A and B are shown apart, each in its own frame.
Chain A
Amino acid sequence: MSRTRTSLAVAVGLVLADSSVVVLALPEIYRELDVSVSAVTWVLVAFNLVLAASALPAAHAARRMGPARVTTAGLVVFGLASLACGLAGDIAVLLTARCVQAVGGAAAICGALELLPAVSGSERAAAVHWARAGTIGAALGPGAGGVLTELISWQSIFLLQVPAACVLSASLLGAAVREGRASTIAAEIRPAGRPHLSANAALALVSAALAAALFLVVLLLIEGWRMSPIAAAAAVSVVPIAAFATGRLDLGSIGVSERAAAGVILLAGGLAALALLPSATVLATIPPQLLIGAGLALTLEALTETALEGRAPQAIHGGWTIAARHLGVVAGLLVLTPLFTADLDSQRADAEQAGTAALLDSRLDSTEKIALAERLGERLEAEGDKVPVLAPAFEPLPEDPDERDDALELRARLQDELDRAATHSFSRSFAVAAAFALAALGAIALARGRPSL
């Protein structure tokens, strides 16, 4: 029973990790498949959009055809589509495969929710396990994808999911066969009640904030601060660790509304703190990430519990929560991506002005300033849209100790201006994400005391 529960939780985590797993691989995919930035963003958006759209039909299928069969079939489809993603040679094939992957994934997670009560002891415990697995999966996704991209390739993210999906579907095959032989499925079908609107609305808003928490932090570390994907993966592991640790706390005596509200406040506080980073160091991101991880665990679990509590069938209402969450992720991506892209451009211009001012005001002599300006210009051109690494432009350093000190001082100042610009580029997006999270408080207040809505 425990093994089945673990298999189901891993299946949910695996599928929901896919909603964020490619974020660190996007630059590689963009380069290798020779597509535009907006096209490559759809590798992320398409999965979340199709997952949201297919969650309810998948939940109905689980009810009518049997959850074990639908979960197993969903995992098989998910695995085959993952294989196609890993072998895709162009963006059209990749996007098509991602859509199929999302359909299979929706079937797997909605079926899993219907199966979990039998192995978790109660519907409430099932809802908690299901939500927790999804939260940890989604939070682990960017880091895992980053490590695989750097160590192997972006294709390996998808190809490694194939054996995982095979093992998981094989572990459920017995249940699916038994279910197929049973004749009681139709008798278990109960009419689905209305979804919990305010809890699902809050889930959508929190998920829009989650998109920022997971995607923007990773982009800030890699694109803004020029960290390697592995280093960035290690840095963002704080979120899933905090989520996992918070999930282990015994908070059962505290009401779901209070847990949801406390979680949203921590999430909003963490995101707002990221908008106010006082330095471009990983250390400064850790306290906000701790708040985000703890906030996500509290609020996603509490809201999922609220959305599912007393509602049958679980799969249908779980389908609603999946639809709400992933529509929220898509909305978050669609709102925040253009915002930080525009801010990157404007901050780049500000950094160029500040850097030029630093160069002009430096104590280097005019000949050296002009030569350095040319070398810096070459670096900017060579790095294209990326935040440049300036150190090579300063090589070789002057031999005269005073001139060397002046050059090093200027290099540090220019780097500081770049770090400031890269960090500030994300500030508005993090602030908007914090506003998404705070907006969820309104929905949580509405959800309070209306469990039967």
Chain B
Amino acid sequence: MVVLSTLIALGLLGTYLALGGSAYEPTEVRDPCQPRPWREPEGIEESAEQFALSALDGAACELQVTRETLAVAIASGEGRREFIEEYGVDEARLEAAIRAGLLRAVDDAEEAGALSPVVAVPLRAVFERIPVEEAIALIEDARAIFEDVRGLLGREAGFLDDPGGLLRDLIP
């Protein structure tokens, strides 16, 4: 009887293990410092989404938190305050991280072929000194980068004095 009970118990445990019982838990979030290949960009919307995710990854990697934690933190002023308090990050470090995130997103976009190198260079220059609120707004909605890069560059940095100049022809 003991042998039969043992076989029944082990049989059930083996079945549940085979069905994935030991791994039935929330999906582990990915390390933001690891490269996250872009999905095939299929237009402005898709590219903007991928850009925002790369920016979040880059900033989260700088701060050594998950991308998801940072996304919740920057979604509202209250979330940002709670994040700063909980992780002991000052405003300056948070801003630097968000800018670093934008720079990584430009690198990723360039690598994925969504941004031309000619556009990437001035974008990097702009993102190194972009005000943090505008950086967050760009992460939340990055369509301007792919829709109206000339306007963005001109607005953020006065980079283009001549809207009809060279860059217009080089935007992919």
Docked-complex contact A353 and B69, CB < 8 angstroms: yes
Q: Knowing A276-B21, A287-B12, A357-B68 are in contact, say whether A370-B75 is a contact too (CB < 8 A).
A: yes
Docked-complex contact A278 and B9, CB < 8 angstroms: no
User: How many residues of chain A get a CB closer than 8 Å to chain B's CBs?
Assistant: 46
Report B138 CB to chain A, min CB distance, Å: 11
Report if B29 contacts A (CB, 8 A): yes
Selected from A291, A347, A350, A352, the residue in CB contact (under 8 A) with B12 is A291
Report if A439 contacts B (CB, 8 A): no
Report A128 CB to chain B, min CB distance, Å: 17
Q: Knowing A420-B26, A421-B26 are in contact, say whether A360-B53 is a contact too (CB < 8 A).
A: yes
A269 to B11, CA, bound (A): 9
Interface of B is mostly: helix
Report if B72 contacts A (CB, 8 A): yes
Report if B140 contacts A (CB, 8 A): yes
Report if A365 contacts B (CB, 8 A): yes
Docked-complex contact B13 and A276, CB < 8 angstroms: yes
A358 to B71, CA, bound (A): 12
Docked-complex contact A350 and B26, CB < 8 angstroms: yes
A451 to B28, CA, bound (A): 53
A366 to B48, CA, bound (A): 8
Stretch in A3-11, A60-68, A254-262 with 4+ CB within 8 Å of B: A254-262
Selected from A272, A287, A353, the residue in CB contact (under 8 A) with B66 is A353
A366 to B56, CA, bound (A): 13
Q: Which B residue's beta carbon lies closest to that of A255?
A: B1
Report if B150 contacts A (CB, 8 A): no
Selected from A251, A266, A278, A351, the residue in CB contact (under 8 A) with B26 is A351
Docked-complex contact A354 and B27, CB < 8 angstroms: yes
Docked-complex contact A273 and B13, CB < 8 angstroms: yes
Report if A319 contacts B (CB, 8 A): no
Residues from chain B with Cβ under 8 Å of A351 in the complex: 26
Docked-complex contact A365 and B45, CB < 8 angstroms: yes
Report A180 CB to chain B, min CB distance, Å: 46
Q: Which of A71-121 contact B (CB under 8 A)?
A: none
Which among B5, B53, B56, B72 has the highest number of chain A CB atoms within 10 Å? B5
Report if B34 contacts A (CB, 8 A): no
Report if B4 contacts A (CB, 8 A): yes
Docked-complex contact B22 and A421, CB < 8 angstroms: no
Q: Which of A238-258 contact B (CB under 8 A)?
A: 251, 254, 258
Q: Knowing A254-B1, A366-B140, A373-B75 are in contact, say whether A279-B24 is a contact too (CB < 8 A).
A: yes
A183 to B21, CA, bound (A): 63
Docked-complex contact A265 and B53, CB < 8 angstroms: no
A270 to B53, CA, bound (A): 43
Report if A301 contacts B (CB, 8 A): no
Residues from chain B with Cβ under 8 Å of A129 in the complex: none
A259 to B19, CA, bound (A): 30
Report if B156 contacts A (CB, 8 A): no
Report if B91 contacts A (CB, 8 A): no
Residues from chain A with Cβ under 8 Å of B140 in the complex: 366, 370
A277 to B23, CA, bound (A): 9
Residues from chain B with Cβ under 8 Å of A356 in the complex: 29, 68, 71-72
Report B86 CB to chain A, min CB distance, Å: 12
Report if B111 contacts A (CB, 8 A): no
Report if A69 contacts B (CB, 8 A): no
Docked-complex contact B16 and A269, CB < 8 angstroms: no
Docked-complex contact B17 and A276, CB < 8 angstroms: yes
Report if B8 contacts A (CB, 8 A): yes
Docked-complex contact B29 and A270, CB < 8 angstroms: no
Selected from A261, A291, A423, the residue in CB contact (under 8 A) with B2 is A261
Docked-complex contact B5 and A262, CB < 8 angstroms: yes
Report if A424 contacts B (CB, 8 A): yes
A258 to B20, CA, bound (A): 32
Report if B129 contacts A (CB, 8 A): no
Question: Residues of A with Cβ closer than 8 Å to B?
Answer: 251, 254, 258-259, 261-263, 265-266, 268-270, 272-273, 276-279, 284, 287-288, 291, 295, 347, 350-354, 356-358, 360-361, 363, 365-367, 370, 373, 417, 420-421, 423-424, 427
20 inter-chain pairs at a CB distance below 8 angstroms, sorted by A residue, are A266-B8, A266-B9, A269-B10, A269-B12, A269-B13, A273-B9, A277-B24, A278-B19, A284-B16, A288-B12, A350-B25, A353-B26, A357-B67, A360-B53, A360-B56, A365-B45, A366-B141, A417-B26, A420-B25, A420-B27
Known: A357-B30, A427-B25. 5 other contacts (CB 8 A): A265-B6, A277-B16, A278-B20, A357-B27, A360-B53
